[in-house]
Structure formats: structure tokens, C-alpha cells
Chains A and B, each alone.
Chain A
Amino acid sequence: MDSSLIALIVLSLCLGCGCWLVFLWAVKKGEFEDIERPKHRMLDDEDEP
């Protein structure tokens, strides 16, 4: 049981690490610079081809 618990803990750490890397990428790309506009943007483009 101990070894399966360790495996799960390590697995959750790996998953978390993946999310963390995505977060780092998003910050570097400037995704958090304007957090107001996106919520309006989704309403806009209904007539786009």
C-alpha cells in the first residue's frame, strides 16, 4: 500500500508540474496582461466567416 501511495504522490506532483509549466508559458506570453477584454471578445464574433 505504501508503494502505491508513493506512486500516486509522485504522479500528482508530475501532473502539477505540467500545469505549472503551462502557467509559466502563459505568463511569459503575456496572457495575464489584459484580463478584461477576453470576456467581451467571446460575445463579438458571431458574424465572422
Chain B
Amino acid sequence: MTDPGTCFHCGSPILPGQLVTETGSGTTLSFCCRGCHGAYLLINGAGLAEFYRRRDWQESGVAASDFQSNLSAAYLARFVRQQAVGATVDIIIEGIRCASCVWLNEKILTGLEGVLEARVNYATGRARVRFAPERIDAGTIFSRIAQLGYRPRPYTASAAQEAAQQEQRDLLIRFGTAVFLTMQLMAYAFGLYAGYFQGIGAGMKNLLQLFSLAVTTPVIFYCGWPFFSGAWRALKNRAANMEVLIALGALASYGYSAYASFTGGEVYFETAAMIVTLILAGRLLENAAKRRASSSIELLLGLSAGEARRLTGDTLETVEAAALEVGDRIVVGAGERFPTDGRVESGMSEVDQSPATGESLPVAKGPGDPVIAGSSNLTGTLTVRCEKVAAESFIARMAHLVEEAQSRRAPIQGVADRVSALFVPLVLLAALGTLFWQAAQGLTWESALLNALAVLLIACPCALGLATPTAILAGTGAAAAAGILFRGGDILERLSRVDHAVFDKTGTLTQGVPELATIEAEPGCDPARLIALAAALEAGSRHPVGLAICAEAARRGLVVPRAERLLTVAGGGVTGRLDGERLLVGSARFLAENGVRELPRDRVYPSGALVVHLSCGERLLGTLLFKDRLREDAAEVVRYFSEQQIEGWLLSGDRQEAARQVAQAVGLTRAFGELAPAQKAERLEELRRQGGVVLMVGDGINDAPALGTADVGCAVAGGTDIAIETSDLVLVKPELGRLVLAHRLARRTMAVVRQNLAWAFLYNLIGVPLAMAGRLTPIYAACAMALSSLCVVGNSLRLLRRNDG
């Protein structure tokens, strides 16, 4: 029934020595840890084992040991809102991947005693739980979600998010109103079209025109208001953008038609109303694309050190990181991040500083050593004395740099705006020319003015509003399906124009974790045996080297013996006992300190490699070399960019030599090492001043200012939160190859946008000479409107075809 190599609950490979089994109804199920086993028992016990059949994902989940909800009641209380009946709390549930996750969470939460209602939003992964506070507390709800293997996080909408939601509602109401009124309007318009071909009584025609006027007025002045205010802002800045063209077209057709309906003549109300309606539709589509990306990105953001465990006397309490003060003592467990800068007071551990410094290998920390906010604690528990408040910590300083960088970045003008800026003066000239030329020809000023207005009304294509949004919706949709999240339509445009691609080293071009590179077994020892013994010692280790050894053992399918009395020495290695003999794995110094004599002292190892020795008793068995390996697709991505005439650079916080080596290996032209975060940003700023359009790819906290400075910042999932938050483009899987896909998609989308604009204007441009001659008819305007919109939408849909990504 179940593959014995992977966990039945979470799908992770089962590490040696960690198998938990459960036998029931004739089958044996395997689990990777007690946590998954517990989650299975909970789900099965609630009669919901159907979950395993319903779920439609096959990949493994997040490491099961991460799931504990240790949020204190006092902390959670701030997120609970009291209401007339019960209380409500909003929760982000990390780990929701499919409809069955939503189903499971809703069922389990609703089944809890005291929970009145639980609704989980499928798209955003947020839950709103209404509960009776006298019967259940928020902590119980959170820990129940954590027990299921999801990670709950309290959530309050920021002011900006609430404003965005309000704006979305406002837009939806304007759009709905416009659609309703335009539908009525089209009924009258069809009556008028029929009258145009078959003849219609003057009274009836006028009646229909007056009804049309009545329903069009609110469409223009209520639904279309945002465009008028936008156009006014642009005009005040002496610029012409898309909104100016829209306002011009809509007002001209409305004014012309209103005049005609009182004096007798043809009306173009449907042109005016359609422009407004379709452009509102375009805005809704663009917002939808943006929101989809930002909610997906929000889900990628981990539980950063928003919380800390403070030690007061002998009691531990969970507090907000922002509440920490200089001199406070905090406890940081294995696997947690440091919430602020400080100095280790007690404990020994190894710390992964790569997010902060770009160093690829972990650093041992003991009493007296400084630790940096954002770096993560790997092996042991540390007590740390805070030296900075969170608002002045390393992360906060980076966030400040990011803000500065982003405020300097000017918004780019979209294609549609640039076309409009060119078009508006031309159209105005044509209209003025018509007016004066016809007046000179002896026409009355009145009919000359009407013809000039007709030029304006036909020149603004309804499909203008759809040209960009539909292409962007289709483009970002295709990208999202491939695991690429664009934060907005302008990002596609910028990415398509990039001429410099700058990469970070650690974690971006390289894996960011060590991998076994070379095995040097001493005579008489089999390499496989060497790895099996090392894996026995490292079983359960969180240290990257330990994980790499266990992964190698699993890859080779080795049977790992179970060692006893495992003892980890931070910064040194691990000792343990197997079959009565003492085994040691660790650095040369660690082994020497433990009495191993025959170490290969004279051997020279390649720089950048991490060397680990294994000994049995006092006898050396062999040496393992680890290296931070290049990502497999790194060279391919670099080659693609150079083929596209995009210059590739490497900026790293690591040593110059290491940076140069990596750059050479993947084929980047220039490499700079030993750069502080602000220096990285400065380099990019310099490039941009020289007219470059820069793409920056990074993952660490130290890359964040550079990501904010670049025209397009790209972060890879699994990187640090601040990098993901700062970037415009996020790859949801750590595969660099998707960057190539993203760039191709951006170029294709922009090509489609240009085609769309061409289509949109084409039909209407043919109408301009007709309007100048005073021969424009409503039926022509309607046909141009329908044809251009259809062409635009159809053309955009081509982007969704997956075959040529």
C-alpha cells in the first residue's frame, strides 16, 4: 500500500534510523517521524483518512520537526477581535497546497469544541475562525493546526492591504454598474441600428436616444470618474498618457451624442460607454493578476523572527521581537533564526550566516561570539544577550536600505502610455485640422465642430484598455503555472528590456548547502562503509554536513547501523559508539583532541572545501570532502543570457577568490567579491546610471538592497523573507532554469502587447478619414469596437498555449 522509503503522511524520504511504522487493517504504513505518525493518527481518528485519497500532491512536505505552535496566549490575544457573538481570529495557514488541505483544516477546526465557524480562503491560504472565547482559547486552535502539520501564523491585515481591498471593491462596483447600464444601452442601440437599416419613426428614434443618454450619463461620470481624475493629474504634469486618450474619446463621443440626441442626428453612446466598461474590465484583470501573485508570494514568506523567547530570571516567555531591549537575554533553539544582533552568553552551536554574509559554510559560535540577526542557528541551543533593539538590527538596517533604493526607482512608462503620449497630440491635430479646413471650405462651424468631435471619438479604441491587461493576465498566468511569480505587469515589461544580469553566489548560483564531493577512504576501508558509519553518527543532525552525509547514504541505499551515545560538539564533530567501539566524525582538530594520531596533516585540500575525517577508536578510516556545489542549470542560464546579448556579472559577499572561481565555472564575464550589502547596491546603481537595465538575482538578506535597486529583482523561493519581499519576480522552486522561461515569457508578452495595440488602433484609424469627411456612422464605430476587442483578447490568449514556453 505504501512505499517503505517515503513517509505515508508527508512524502519525505525517511532518514536512516528514523522509521516509525503503524500496522492496521493488514497494511503497514511507514512514517518519517513521530510528528507525521501523530498527524496520521489524528486524521485517521477523526474519520478523515479520505484526505490521503483526496490530496493531489505527491511531493514531500516541509520538514516535520518544524511544526510546533509555541505562540503564547498573551501574544495571540492581540490578534483576536471580540465580536457580538464570539471572537474572531485571522490565521495564515502555511502549507496549504490543494483543495483537500482546505477541506481538512475546515473540518478539523469546525469539529473543535467551541469553534463556531471556520472558513479557509483557498486562494490566499488564510483562515478566519470564529469561536466562543469562554469555551476554547486561540492557542488551542493554533496548536491543532500545527498538529495537522501545517504552520499557523496570526495575521492582521495591514492598512495598505485593507486600502487595496477597499479599492478593489470600489472598482468592482463601478464595473458592475457600468456593465448593467451598458447592457441596457446596447438594447436601445440595437433598436437604433435596426432603424438605421429599416427606417424608424423620428419620435421613436428620439425616444431611444434619450433613454440612451439617461443610462450613459452615470457610466461616464460615475464609473469613468477614475480615468478623468487620472487624466487630469497627467495633464497637470503636462504629460499625455492612456487615461488622457480615454477621457478624450469618452467625452467626445458623449458630448457629440448628447448634442445629436437633442438636435437630431446619429448617436455614439455605446462607444462612450464601452470604452469605460472595457477599461474597467482591464483594470480588474490586471488587479487580479497582481493580487494572485502577491498572495502567492505572501505564502512563501516564512515565520521570520517576528517572535523571540525571552529569558527573565528562570522563566521563558514568547514576546514580539520588536519588544526586545538591549541587555535582554533570549534563547534561540536549533533551527530558529536570531531575531536581533547580539552576543552568545552560553551554549555552543553552529550558525548559518549565509543569508547575512554570503559565507557558504556554517560558523561555530560559543560564549562571547557575536551573532547577526537573520542568520539561523543550526545545532545547539544558545542563550544570547541582545546588543541592538530589533529596529536597529542588521535586518532592520537592510530593510532601511531597501526602502531607500525603492524610493529612488522611478516607475517606468508602459507601452500603452507611450503610444498614447504620441497619439494624443496627433489626434488633436487631426481634429483641429478638420475643424478649420472644413470651416474654410464653407461648412458651418457647427457641422465642422461635429466632424472634429467625430475624429476624436473614433480615434480612441475601446480595446486600448484591454490590450495590456489581457496580455499581462495571460502572461503572468502562464508564468504562475510554471512557478514564476511576477509582482505586476510593469515587471514583465522591465524584464523584457534587461541588458545586464547580475547574480549572487551563495544559494543562487550554488546550492548554498555543502554536498559530498570526494571520498578518500584509507586502505582497508570500503567507501560505502565509510559513508554508512558517518551517517550512523550524523543521524538526526541538523548540520548541513550531517544532512549531506545522510542524503548520500540514502541515495546509495545503504543500510545505516544504529549508533549509540551520540554526542555532538559544536564546531567540532560527533562521537558515538557502535559495536563497542568509539566512532568519531569531525574536523581534524576535533579528532586530534580526541586522541586520533594518524591524521593526514601534510595533505593539501582545495580551497573552499570542508574537510571531515572519520575514525574508529584511534584509527583513521577516511576523509570526506564537501563543497558548495554549483546549481546544475546555472551555466545554462548564464549561457542563455549571453546569447541574448545580456551581460552577466557576479556580486558576492564571499572571498574574491571564491567569487572568481564560481564566475569562471559558469561563464560570467565579471566577478566582484567581498562586497558589503550596500556596496552591492552601489554597483547596480552605477550600472543603471550608465543606462543599463539591470536584473539582479539573489536570495540572502545581504542581497535585499541590491534587489531593491535593480530594475528587476528576482528571488528564489527558499531564500530569506526579506529578499522575497523585496523582489519583483519570485521563482517558487529553487531552479534557476526558470529564469530563462521568465525572460522568454516577458519578451513574448511584450510582443503580444505591441501587436494588441496595433490591432486596437488599426480599425479605428481607418475610421478617422471617414470622420473627417463627416461620413462616420454608428454602425461603423460599433464594428470597429467589437473587432478590435475580439482581436486583442484572442491574441492575448495565445500566451496561454504551453507548448512553446
Which residues of A does B touch, CB under 8 Å? 2, 5-6, 9, 12-13, 16, 19-20, 23-24, 27-28, 32-37, 40, 44
Cross-interface CB contact of B122 among A6, A13, A40, cutoff 8 Å: A40
Residues in chain A near residue B99, CB distance under 8 A:
37, 40
The answer to whether residues A27 and B176 also contact, given A9-B211, A34-B123 and a CB cut-off of 8 A, is yes
A24 to nearest B CB, angstroms?
6
* Closest A residue by C-beta to B99: A40
Bound complex: CA A3 to CA B238 (Å): 51
B266 to nearest A CB, angstroms?
20
* Closest B residue by C-beta to A43: B99
Bound complex: CA A28 to CA B165 (Å): 11
Residues in chain A near residue B79, CB distance under 8 A:
none
Residues in chain B near residue A32, CB distance under 8 A:
172
Residues in chain A near residue B188, CB distance under 8 A:
9
Residues in chain B near residue A24, CB distance under 8 A:
173, 176
Residues A2 and B203 in contact, CB atoms below 8 Å apart: yes
Q: Does B120 contact A (CB under 8 A)?
A: yes
Type the 1/0 row for B163-180, where 1 means its CB is closer than 8 Å to any CB of A.
001000100110011001
Bound complex: CA A9 to CA B177 (Å): 18
A44 to nearest B CB, angstroms?
6
B44 to nearest A CB, angstroms?
16
Residues B176 and A16 in contact, CB atoms below 8 Å apart: no
The answer to whether residues A44 and B103 also contact, given A2-B207, A34-B123, A36-B122 and a CB cut-off of 8 A, is yes
Bound complex: CA A44 to CA B102 (Å): 11
Residues A37 and B122 in contact, CB atoms below 8 Å apart: yes
B208 to nearest A CB, angstroms?
8
Bound complex: CA A35 to CA B168 (Å): 14
Residues in chain B near residue A12, CB distance under 8 A:
184, 187
Cross-interface CB contact of B169 among A2, A6, A27, A36, cutoff 8 Å: A27
Which residues of B does A touch, CB under 8 Å? 99, 102-103, 120-124, 165, 169, 172-173, 176-177, 180, 183-184, 187-188, 203-204, 207, 211, 215
| Cross-chain pairs A/B with CB under 8 angstroms, 7 sampled | A2-B207, A16-B180, A20-B176, A27-B173, A37-B99, A37-B121, A37-B123
Residues in chain B near residue A20, CB distance under 8 A:
176-177, 180
* Closest A residue by C-beta to B165: A33
Residues in chain A near residue B122, CB distance under 8 A:
34, 36-37, 40
Bound complex: CA A12 to CA B208 (Å): 14
Bound complex: CA A13 to CA B214 (Å): 11
The answer to whether residues A19 and B120 also contact, given A6-B207, A27-B172 and a CB cut-off of 8 A, is no
Among B122, B172, B177, the most chain A Cβ lie within 10 Å of the Cβ of: B122
* Closest B residue by C-beta to A28: B169
* Closest A residue by C-beta to B188: A9
Residues A40 and B103 in contact, CB atoms below 8 Å apart: yes
A10 to nearest B CB, angstroms?
9
The answer to whether residues A16 and B120 also contact, given A2-B203, A27-B172, A37-B102 and a CB cut-off of 8 A, is no
Residues in chain A near residue B203, CB distance under 8 A:
2
B619 to nearest A CB, angstroms?
61
Bound complex: CA A37 to CA B120 (Å): 8
A42 to nearest B CB, angstroms?
11
Cross-interface CB contact of A16 among B103, B124, B184, cutoff 8 Å: B184
A47 to nearest B CB, angstroms?
9
Residues in chain B near residue A9, CB distance under 8 A:
187-188, 211
Residues in chain A near residue B169, CB distance under 8 A:
27-28
Residues B121 and A19 in contact, CB atoms below 8 Å apart: no
Residues in chain B near residue A37, CB distance under 8 A:
99, 102, 120-123
B90 to nearest A CB, angstroms?
13
* Closest B residue by C-beta to A30: B169
Residues in chain B near residue A35, CB distance under 8 A:
123
Bound complex: CA A36 to CA B211 (Å): 38
Cross-interface CB contact of A36 among B123, B172, B176, cutoff 8 Å: B123
Residues in chain A near residue B183, CB distance under 8 A:
16
Residues B184 and A34 in contact, CB atoms below 8 Å apart: no
Residues B184 and A13 in contact, CB atoms below 8 Å apart: yes
Residues B176 and A33 in contact, CB atoms below 8 Å apart: no
Bound complex: CA A27 to CA B183 (Å): 19
The answer to whether residues A23 and B180 also contact, given A9-B211, A37-B102, A40-B102 and a CB cut-off of 8 A, is yes
Bound complex: CA A16 to CA B99 (Å): 36
Bound complex: CA A5 to CA B191 (Å): 11
Residues in chain B near residue A34, CB distance under 8 A:
121-124
B659 to nearest A CB, angstroms?
44
Residues B204 and A23 in contact, CB atoms below 8 Å apart: no
* Closest B residue by C-beta to A36: B122
Residues in chain A near residue B211, CB distance under 8 A:
9
With A9-B188, A27-B173, A37-B99 given, can you name 5 additional A-B contacts, CB distance below 8 Å?
Answer: A16-B184, A20-B177, A27-B169, A33-B165, A34-B121
Cross-interface CB contact of A19 among B172, B180, B187, B215, cutoff 8 Å: B180
Residues in chain A near residue B177, CB distance under 8 A:
20
Nearest 8 Cβ contacts at the A-B interface: A37-B122, A40-B99, A36-B122, A34-B121, A20-B180, A36-B123, A23-B176, A27-B172
Bound complex: CA A44 to CA B106 (Å): 11
B779 to nearest A CB, angstroms?
22
Among A5, A9, A12, A19, the most chain B Cβ lie within 10 Å of the Cβ of: A9
Bound complex: CA A22 to CA B211 (Å): 23
Residues in chain A near residue B165, CB distance under 8 A:
33
B103 to nearest A CB, angstroms?
6
Residues in chain A near residue B123, CB distance under 8 A:
34-37
Residues in chain A near residue B121, CB distance under 8 A:
33-34, 37
* Closest A residue by C-beta to B214: A13
Bound complex: CA A34 to CA B717 (Å): 25
A4 to nearest B CB, angstroms?
12
Bound complex: CA A44 to CA B187 (Å): 41
Bound complex: CA A27 to CA B175 (Å): 11
Bound complex: CA A9 to CA B204 (Å): 12
Residues in chain B near residue A23, CB distance under 8 A:
176, 180
Bound complex: CA A16 to CA B184 (Å): 8
Residues in chain B near residue A16, CB distance under 8 A:
180, 183-184
Bound complex: CA A16 to CA B215 (Å): 12
B19 to nearest A CB, angstroms?
34
Residues in chain B near residue A33, CB distance under 8 A:
121, 165
B649 to nearest A CB, angstroms?
41
Bound complex: CA A25 to CA B204 (Å): 35
Residues in chain A near residue B102, CB distance under 8 A:
37, 40
* Closest B residue by C-beta to A20: B180
Residues in chain B near residue A27, CB distance under 8 A:
169, 172-173, 176
Bound complex: CA A16 to CA B178 (Å): 12
A1 to nearest B CB, angstroms?
9
Residues A2 and B184 in contact, CB atoms below 8 Å apart: no
Cross-interface CB contact of B204 among A2, A36, A40, A44, cutoff 8 Å: A2
A27 to nearest B CB, angstroms?
5
Bound complex: CA A24 to CA B121 (Å): 22
* Closest A residue by C-beta to B183: A16
B107 to nearest A CB, angstroms?
8
Bound complex: CA A44 to CA B103 (Å): 7
* Closest A residue by C-beta to B106: A44
A3 to nearest B CB, angstroms?
11
Bound complex: CA A40 to CA B121 (Å): 11
Bound complex: CA A24 to CA B174 (Å): 10
Residues in chain B near residue A6, CB distance under 8 A:
207
Bound complex: CA A47 to CA B210 (Å): 56
The answer to whether residues A5 and B103 also contact, given A13-B184, A24-B173, A36-B122 and a CB cut-off of 8 A, is no
Residues in chain A near residue B173, CB distance under 8 A:
24, 27
Bound complex: CA A44 to CA B99 (Å): 10
A19 to nearest B CB, angstroms?
7
B757 to nearest A CB, angstroms?
29
Bound complex: CA A35 to CA B124 (Å): 11
